[in-house]
Amino acid sequence: MVENKLSCVLLIDDDSINNFLNERLLKKLQISNAVKTALNGAEGLKYIDQHCAIDGGCCPELVFLDINMPVMDGFEFIRNFRKLDFYNKDKMTVAILTTSRNEKDIEAMKHLGAYHFVNKPLTAEKVKKVLTDSQ
C-alpha cells in the first residue's frame, strides 16, 4: 500500500480488541515496520518519551489516538504531547481515531493542534487518507 514504509505506528486506545484489530489491519497493509500499542494516553506518552529520545528507537511517525480513555484521555495526551521536545517531532502525525461525532470534541482537538479525524472502525481507505493528507 505504501511506497515508503513508516518506521513505526502507535495505537493508543483503551480497548484492547480495537488495538488488536487495528494492529492486524496495519500489518496487513504493510505501511510500517512496526506497530505498537498503548492502553491510555499516559502509556502513549511514556512510550514516545522512551523511544523518541534515542536515535534508532521505534519512534512513531503516525499515532492513532482515541479520545475517551481512562487514566489519560486524548485531550490530555495532546496537551502533554505538545510539551515534549524530541528530534523530528514535527514529522509525527497524530490522527484522532474515535467513535465521537461530537462537534465540540472535534473543535477542541483542532484547537489543540490535531487535524486528522478518523471515525471508528479503522479501514484501509481511512488509513490511506490519513497518510495522503499528512504528506
Tens of pLDDT, residues 124-135 = 999 999 999 887
Q: With pLDDT > 90 as the criterion, what percentage of the chain qualifies?
A: 67
Across the chain, mean pLDDT equals 90
Whole-angstrom Cα distance, residue 135 to residue 121?
23
Domain assignment present for 97 = yes
Domain assignment present for 36 = yes
Q: What is the mean pLDDT of residues 19-32?
A: 97
Domain assignment present for 46 = yes
Domain assignment present for 83 = yes
Beta strand pairing status for 9-12 and 62-65? parallel
Domain assignment present for 95 = yes
How many domains would you assign to the chain? 1
What pLDDT, on a 0 to 100 scale, did the predictor assign at position 56? 65
Are 10 and 33 in contact by the 8 Å Cβ rule? The answer is no
Domain assignment present for 80 = yes
Q: Is the pTM of this model over 0.75?
A: yes
Mapping DSSP to helix (H, G, I), strand (E, B) and coil, where does residue 68 land?
coil
Residue 109 belongs to a domain with what CATH number?
Answer: 3.40.50.2300
Write out the three cell numbers for 119.
Answer: 471515525
What pLDDT, on a 0 to 100 scale, did the predictor assign at position 66? 95
Best CA proximity match to 88, nearest among 117, 51, 125: 51
pLDDT category of residue 87 using cuts at 50, 70 and 90: confident
Q: What is the mean pLDDT of residues 50-57?
A: 79
Q: What is the mean pLDDT of residues 17-22?
A: 97
Query: Which residue segment(s) compose the domain that 53 sits in?
Result: 9-133
Domain assignment present for 86 = yes
